[in-house]
Amino acid sequence: MGDRKRHYLFYTVSHLNHVALPAELKSSGKHRPYDRFQLDAQVQHKLDFVREHLPKAQKVYILGHSIGSYMMLRILPYIKDDFNIRKVIGLFPTVEKMADSPNGVRLKRVLATLDANDWLAKGMSFWLDFLPVSVKKWLVTWNLTGDMVPSDVVMSAAELLHMNVFRNIVHMSHDELNKVCDFDQTLIANKDLVYFYYGREDGWCPEDHGYAMEARLPGGHVVLDEDGCEHAFVIRDGAVVAEQLLRFIK
């Protein structure tokens, strides 16, 4: 993949309670397995993670996907002077007008109903906690079909089939639709560091969002996909996006 002489150490962080809490943290962690977290709490979680784990002396490239791009831009002002941040790269970034996107329009009423009625979200998903992993993997393969889907993606998708994970996805997604609205120019206050990669047919951040961002950032900082990659690119298009990331980083 690209220049094999370069080596990068990856630090990855998930959203709070978007994976089932490990057994060793259920009683000793800072939060409880059934807690629900809104967008601002998830942003703070990412800031805390960076401050605790990232090296300050090494070059740092921060990558965010979807709402992770928004979180990345939110924490940038608080870390840029303490870390050697070289670039921040948003992939299929949901940083504006989420409720007006095709997926936002389609889902906002359902999300609002489930979020306001947590008992309903629990009732729809409690049975998932009783399924063995093998059955969960079988269920997700109904949608994740084909030789191009890595086994790790199937395993990660199976981990989403959990009541508290479902509740948190609903809770944060609804909050995103309410908070990520008109574009906030302060998100790109550090324009020299910010890069974006947009899809052509993305239900969360349509192509016109990419053109609007091109007008806000320096030339070459916004790239629109030409390979038909989908928003959830890790399912089938990971290699294509990885090559683009290398071009950004070089």
213 in Cβ contact with 222 (< 8 Å):
yes
In a domain, 132, yes or no: yes
In a domain, 87, yes or no: yes
In a domain, 11, yes or no: no
Tokens found for residue 212: 């609007």
39-54: average pLDDT: 96
Q: How far is the C-alpha of 228 from the C-alpha of 97, rounded, in Å?
A: 22
Contacts of 107 (CB under 8 A, 6+ apart): 173, 177
Work out the pLDDT band at 8, boundaries 50, 70, 90: confident
Rounded percentage of the chain residues whose pLDDT exceeds 70:
98
Contacts of 125 (CB under 8 A, 6+ apart): 162, 163, 166, 167
In a domain, 18, yes or no: no
In a domain, 84, yes or no: yes
CA dihedral (14, 194, 2, 226) positive or negative: positive
Amino acid type, 61: Y
pLDDT digits over 77-130, tens only? 999 999 999 999 999 999 999 999 999 999 999 999 999 999 999 999 999 999
DSSP class of residue 203? S
Output the domain CATH number for residue 135.
Answer: 3.40.50.1820
In a domain, 5, yes or no: no
Tally of domains within the chain:
1
Amino acid type, 140: V
In a domain, 171, yes or no: yes
**Domain of 117?**
23-249
In a domain, 213, yes or no: yes
Angle between helices 39-53 and 67-79 (to 10 degrees): 50
